[in-house]
Amino acid sequence: MFQRIRSLVVKELLATLRDKKARIALIVPPILQLFVFAFAGTQEVTNISLAVFNPDAGRASAELVQRLEASGNFSHIRFVRSTGEMQAAIDRQQVVAGVRFQDDFSARLLGGQSAPVQLILDGRKSNAAQIVQGYVQSVVEQFGRERAAEGRVRLADAAIEPRNWFNPNLIYLWFTVPSLVAMITTLTALNVTSMSVAREREMGTFDQLLVSPLRPLEILAGKALPAFGLALAQATIFLVVAVLVFRIPFRGSPPLLYGALIVFIAAMVGVGLFISSLSATQQQALLGTFTFMVPAMLLSGYASPIENMPAWLQPLTYLNPLRYMMVVVKGVYLKALPAAEVLHQVWPMALIAAATVALATWQFRRRSA
Amino acid sequence: MSDSAVLVEMRGLTKRFGPGRPALDRLDARILGGTITGLAGPDGAGKTTLLRMIAGLLDPTEGELRVLGVDPREDAEEIHARAGYMPQRFGLYEDLSVQQNLDLYADLRGVLGEERRETFGRLLGFTDWARFTDRRAGALSGGMKQKLGLACALISKPELLLLDEPGVGVDPISRRDLWRMVEDLVKDGVGVVWSTAYLDEAEQCETVIVLNEGRPVFCGPPGELTGRVRGRAWAVPVEHGRRRALSKALQSEEVLDGVVQGHRLRLVLRGKARDRWDASEAGLEGKAEAAEPRFEDAFIDALGGPPRGPSRIAEAMRQVPPDDHPVIEAQDLTKRFGDFAATDGVSFTVPRGEIFGLLGPNGAGKSTTFKMLCGLLRPTSGRALVTGLDLEHSGSEARSRLGYMAQKFSLYGDLSVRQNLEFFAGIYGLPRARQKPAVDGMLDVFALRDQADEASGGLPLGFKQRLSMAAALMHEPDVLFLDEPTSGVDPLTRREFWKHINGLVEKGVTVLVTTHFMDEAEYCDRIGLVYRGKLIALGPPDELKAKARTDKNESPTMEDAFIHLVQAWDREQGGDRKEGKP
Amino acid sequence: MKAPSPAPSRAGAFSPRRLGALIRKESIQIVRDPSSILIALILPVVLLFLFGYAVSLDSTRLRLGVVLEERTVDSESLLAALRDSKYFLVTPGASRREAEADLTAGRTRGLVVVPVNFSRYLLSGGTEGAPLQVIADGSEPNTANFVQNYVRAAVGGWQQARLLERGILVPPARVDLQPRMWFNPSLESKNFLVPGSIAIVMTLIGTLLTALVVAREWERGTMEALMATPVSIQELVLGKLVPYFTLGMGSMLFCTLVATLVFGVPLRGSVVALALVTAVFLVSALGLGLLLSTLAKSQFMAGQVALVIGFLPAFQLSGFIFEISAMPRWIQAITFLFPARWFVQSLQTLFLAGDVPAVLWRDGAILVGFAVLFVFLTSRVTRKKL
């Protein structure tokens, strides 16, 4: 039995890695994706342009504008001469936000009145807008506080000491790169398994396997193991790139991460096998992979945190292996997540792996005779 | 336009795809109006390349080509408007209905109004498919697809009609229909090019261009080539042991080629024509009778005959111990798809050491029966036993004793020859120590050593076929399942193939084979004819042929027998139906 | 034999009848093929649904751990203030260790520690202020930012309330920041995600589906049969473009209806502008799909390439989830090369802002450029030869 599986695995690997082109196609695009998407997949807000309309000739408004400029959050400040111009700049997406003073801003402050400042944000980009709002707010608050101090009004204050653990400078790459390790590995594991059976069906070699002494489970194992090996190898390359090229410190235990990775890839390979046992043609397999892949990515907590989803939708994410792996890969990599916590995420994946492999075998038996 | 107008003129026509042997090498030929020109040769001989060049879909590398008076390199559109072309894969849209396919090609070719109605009427008149017009093309049988494909190519009454292997995978009845459709056109002065790997088809053409590995071998009326073997074809009756007799005869220096035909051997001799021949010169007992030479004899003669010597694979194979139990057993085998019974209560047994042939028209249930027997399809009811084991329950062990060869090449094209063999040795559980000698042995026996490290997908069909066979035999199976094993294969490779099969059967191996190739059916000990899901005839080839004997046709061929039996069954059923009516 | 059928169908000349036949054929195939229905009708609903509900960038209700190392009136009132914030789901922690473990495990996104002596510092009124530790989980930088900002806002509010309560008036001369969110006042991310996801659906129909269907004609040999007929290149290309264009426009109408009626996304721009921009984008996406499949000729290759250069960029590089201005310059430069980027921008503007001529003219012109380029390249590489 092991010999038969071994022959299958050798065949599969030879077929996948036979020529140079195939090997390149397996290695280069994922690495490219890792680099492009690591930088592209960012929610970070930098390089923001801000419009300022300041009809006030006083000192206070000029100082506040200067502070905004000096804060380093805004790469470009665009001075406009009318409300209309500001509006146009926002409409055309030349700036994300506009700050509008009134002409009596400085006068009001001097007179001890409160002085309104309007902050207009482009709601088409609600995420960026919210963050910009935070930046502006903190600059304005600081400004207010210091003016108050100048006015010798003593304030009993709570001084916030902000800290960001695991990623003190909030470098976005530290988030995207480990997440991409899980995502791109998923893509490989699914792609290699889901298409392989359909391709053999289309080529007619599948009948050849079915009339041989191979049992359905052996055929499945022969399909699963190479995909498994390739996905694991790819994950390893990505981790090495993450540490050596992106210089993201690996804090947890590698064996723990690999243990979880193995279970995770098993679950993904199980899903791939199930898709392939359902599809008669490569086109169906491709569309099937796609139909699973997109929701899996969206419901993984990568694009947006799971707790932001509506309560009735959250239970659905429990069926998604990627959801657990996202926690583990970032947890072990960045936070040195303890083993007990990892285990907590691993057992659902093991369950999913067992269920999908069983389903694939059953479906496969049903269709192969 | 006179009947013998030259439609296509080729001079030194050559096509290369990259370095190496050209796909077509310096062909000089003409294609005339009002005739059928056969384009014969094994797979990979350059037939499709030539047709594509004539159709203006490929540019020649060198040489001169004029089609319908124009150079296809300059004005392919002119050819597209005036010539009809049916590619090998029909060019049908499988998800469109028959009518929708016809409409599409009629629109594309600008056949409108009255002309269109007439054309459709004429085309539908060829066959009885008027009732199928709403059916999806994908749901048609292979023969029907070919007919529809041909109809689509005929819509605008082309001046030149190019058909790429219209006879592949088509049963004898459909083939006759196709031929009739084409003959009608020829009467109107259309020039037809009919490409084929079957030389009996080529023989019926007025002119033949024979290609081999891109080289033209012969160009002219087939009779001219056949004439070269006149007086060299002889038939010798053999009562028992016809396979052994054939192998003995082939060892004789005098015999160039031989095949089994029922209980006779058909031999082609070397050297000159002779008036009489004593079969004992070739170690045979029966009395030799002169036989009508065939185009295929001449073709093999032109290529120098098949390789000599006994089958080495059979020699290396162990003797399967004799055993009185049937090896293959179909017990009331039935498969239903919905309320349609593809196979309906088929029963037969095959004893050890027999070649059993399954024949039948396209879509008659032949492949369904075959698939159930080798365990690829689960029967709705009834049982299929191989060596007494039910494949459904004791799958793995039973399967390890059978060998399987699929219709089209279905090994791993991106693996090398050696890797394919190693793979099959592995999955059939050959012990590690025996794998290497077994693979080496196969490479030697099938003369694949020079190609051992080439990707198998790129090999010529003959090599692929030998490799498929090697893979199927590596584990010395007791039973061989062959599904149209030689379709599209040239006669020489086919001879070699049957030499091995015959040798194996002598060693006690049992063979189940399906085929559309009537020559191949002659090798079988017994034939089961499947039609409309039922086994309508069962017996040795001679017995079936005897049923088709009439006053007009005293020595019917296997093809005659096939057509006779199917039509007789249709009449009988038709009679039944009439009786059933009140 | 009489002369060949007189030449309405002569060489190369354009024939509306042949085009009609090709379009009819393609339409029947679309209707019969379940996978095109899947891509055109079911997938859009799934995607809109996911982007409408699943992907929400509005961080409401972040899980926040709070540890009070001293229990005083001040610390309790701060806890209450955090609890009252609509942004947090507060988990009071018994000890700092436990709360830190929660943060590590990802059960909380942030942690506020009120240290011993907090109240004393407050009372002393020193200029350095009472230390209040706010720790965010930096492994998700975006969320970490939200945590820091929201905690700051909540604490600020708490301070003001506290001062007022004690009769200490807020310093009179204060700057009163009045944020206004234009186009999307309630800041719902679905309002900009849903229009963006329509672009993804259009890319799928335009590029992936077309790439597969043309490659299928090559694989099944029907392309060879078509080429041997008098069909011209323009007819072949148009015969593919028109049916899938219609399918895409139909799907667009369907998506727009679902977006506005089901998800309540506003449509502030004009329907005409929406239709025009979509039409131009679709032609460019279809052109790319045709180009790919003409070059690849196998479904497997065409599908893979369409995913890598069609779908993934539309997802990652179009600015629909991920802010383009935040990407490094070299990636921003790459985004210019993908039509999806311009389409997403136009859609977000059309749905949320209205007809902004400056944006629409520019994006429209660029999309027209892409469309012309791809269709031109396709008719260049499609030759009636094998």
Average pLDDT over residues A43-71: 83
Q: How far is A13 from chain B (nearest CA, A)?
A: 10
CATH number at residue B305: 3.30.70
pLDDT higher than threshold 50 for residue B408: yes
pLDDT band at C277 (very low <50, low <70, confident <90, very high): very high
What's the pLDDT at C95? 87
**How near does any CA of chain C get to the CA of A114, in Å?**
5
Same domain, C86 and C214: no
pLDDT digit string (tens) for C21-47?
A: 889 888 888 888 777 777 778 888 888
Is B516 in contact with B198 (CB distance < 8 Å)? no
* pLDDT average, residue stretch C278-304: 84
Mean pLDDT for C163-188 is 65
Region A121-131: what's the mean pLDDT?
75
Closest CA to A123 of A99, A91, A101: A91
Q: Range of C231's domain?
A: 16-55+188-381
- Quickly state the pLDDT bin for A256 (edges 50, 70, 90): very high
Q: What value does the mean pLDDT take over residues B242-268?
A: 85
C271 plus C195 within the same structural domain: yes
Q: Does the pLDDT at position A271 exceed 50?
A: yes
- What is the arithmetic mean of pLDDT over B257-280? 84
Last residue of a domain, one of B174, B196, B220: B220
Least CB–CB distance from B57: residue in C220, C222, C227: C227
CB-based contact, B132 to chain A, within 8 Å: no
Domain harbouring B112, CATH code: 3.40.50.300
Number of domains chain C contains: 2
* A368: pLDDT strictly greater than 60: no
Residue B448 Cα, gap to closest chain A Cα (Å): 20
Write down the pLDDT at residue A200.
83
What single-letter DSSP state applies at residue A155? -
For residue range C65-75, list pLDDT tens digits in order.
999 888 888 88
**What pLDDT is stored for residue C224 in this prediction?**
84
**Is the pLDDT assigned to residue C3 strictly greater than 60?**
no
Q: Are residues C125 and C247 in the same domain?
A: no
Which residue from B57, B100, B105 is facing C28, i.e. has the nearest CB? B100
Would you state the pLDDT for residue B579? 35
Return the DSSP state at A47: S
Identify whether C171 is part of a domain: no
Question: Looking at the domain assignment, is residue C322 inside a domain?
Answer: yes
> Band of the pLDDT at B551, cuts 50, 70, 90?
confident
| CA distance to partner chain A, nearest, from residue B88 (Å) | 18
Residue C10's pLDDT is 46
Inside any domain, residue B270: yes
Q: Please classify residue B399 by burial: count the beta carbons closer than 10 Å to its beta carbon, then call 0-12 exposed, 13-18 middle and 19+ buried.
A: buried
Alpha carbon distance C213, B225 (integer Å)? 47
* Predicted confidence (pLDDT) per residue in B78-108, tens digit: 888 888 888 877 678 888 888 888 888 888 8
Decide: helix, strand or coil at residue A239.
helix
Q: Is residue C375 part of a domain?
A: yes
For residues A281 and B136, which has the higher predicted lDDT (pLDDT)? B136
Chain B residues lying within 8 Å of A203, measured CB to CB: 410, 413
Q: Which of A4, A26, A212, A283 to mutate to test the interface with B (most CBs of B within 10 A)?
A: A212
Q: What's the confidence (pLDDT) of residue C4?
A: 42
Does C7 have pLDDT greater than 80?
A: no
Confirm or reject contact between C20 and chain B (CB < 8 A): yes
Q: Is residue C344 part of a domain?
A: yes
Is the per-residue pLDDT at B581 higher than 50? no
List of chain C residues whose C-beta atoms are within 8 Å of the C-beta of residue B96: 25, 28-29, 32
Residue among B93, B162, B190 minimizing CB distance to C25: B93
Give the Cα separation of B326 and C5 in Å (integer): 63
- Please check whether residues B171 and B263 belong to one and the same domain: no
Residue A294 at interface with chain C, using a CB cutoff of 8 Å: yes
The Cα of C299 is separated from the nearest Cα of chain A by a number of Å equal to 7
pLDDT digits (tens, 9 = 90+) for B179-227: 888 888 888 888 999 998 778 888 888 899 988 888 888 888 988 888 8
Neighbours of chain C (3+ CB pairs under 8 A): A, B
**Does the beta carbon of B393 lie under 8 angstroms from any beta carbon of chain A?**
no
For residue A136, give the chain C residue with the closest CA. C177
Which of A69-83, B128-142, B546-560 is predicted with the least confidence, judged by mean pLDDT? Answer: B128-142
Average pLDDT over residues C95-115: 87
In a domain, B273, yes or no: yes
Check whether A153 has a pLDDT greater than 70. Answer: no
Confidence grade of residue A21 (pLDDT, cut at 50, 70, 90): low
Cα B252 → chain centroid: 29
Assign residue C124 the CATH number of its domain: 3.40.1710.10
User: Would you say B77 and B115 are in contact if contact means Cβ atoms under 8 Å apart?
Assistant: no
Residue C268 has pLDDT above 70, yes or no: yes
Q: Which residue has the higher pLDDT, C51 or C297?
A: C51
Q: For residue A148, what pLDDT band results from cuts at 50, 70 and 90?
A: low
Contact yes or no for C182 and A144 at CB 8 A:
no
Whether residues A18 and B377 touch (CB distance < 8 A) is answered with no
So what's the ipTM on this one? 0.76
Select the more confidently predicted residue: B47 or B173. Answer: B47
| Residue B243 structure tokens | 């396979």
Mean pLDDT taken over chain A:
83
**Which residue in B376, B399, B481 is closest to A213 by CB distance?**
B399
Distance CA B436, CA B441 (A): 8
Res. C86 pLDDT band, cuts 50 70 90: confident
pLDDT tens readout for residues B463-509: 888 888 888 888 888 899 998 887 777 788 888 888 888 888 888 89
pLDDT at B280: 81
Considering only the beta carbons, identify the residue of C54, C131, C187 that sits closest to A313. C54
Determine contact, residues B191/B7, Cβ cutoff 8 Å: yes
| pLDDT value of residue C253 | 92
Mutating which of B75, B107, B160, B188 best tests the C interface, going by the most C Cβ atoms within 10 A? B107
Taking contacts as CB-CB distances below 8 angstroms, the residues of chain B near C222 are: 89, 91-93
Are B115 and B180 contained in the same domain?
yes
Contact B404 A208 (CB under 8 A): yes
- B252 and B212, same structural domain? no
Across residues B33-50, what is the average pLDDT?
Answer: 86
Interface of B with A in 282-311 (CB under 8 A): none
Residue ending a domain, among C109, C130, C165, is: C165
User: Which DSSP string corresponds to C104-146?
Assistant: HHTS-SEEEEE-TTHHHHHHHT-TT-EEEEEEEETTSHHHHHH
Size of interface A-B (CB pairs under 8 A): 83
pLDDT recorded at residue C352: 84
Q: Which domains does chain A have, with CATH numbers?
A: 2-42+170-368 (no CATH), 48-150 (3.40.1710.10)
Domain annotation covers residue C98: yes
- Among the partner residues B1, B87, B112, nearest to C224 by beta-carbon distance: B87
Q: What is the model's pLDDT at position C184?
A: 67
Q: Indicate the residue type of C309.
A: I
| Measured distance CA(B142)–CA(B146) in Å, rounded | 6
**Do C28 and B159 count as a contact with CB atoms less than 8 A apart?**
no
Taking the C-alpha atoms of residue B369 and residue B451, their distance in angstroms, rounded to an integer, is: 36
Q: Hey, which chains touch A, using 3+ CB pairs under 8 Å? A: B, C
Residues of A in contact with B395 (CB under 8 A): 213, 215
Q: Which residues between 74 and 93 in chain C have a beta carbon less than 8 angstroms from any beta carbon of chain A?
A: 78, 89
Can you give the residue range of the structural domain that contains B246?
227-309
| Interface residue A175 vs chain C (CB under 8 A) | yes
- Residue at a domain's end among C165, C200, C217: C165
pLDDT single digits (tens) C216-250: 888 777 888 888 888 888 888 888 889 999 999 99
Lowest mean pLDDT: which of B140-149, C86-95, C356-365?
B140-149
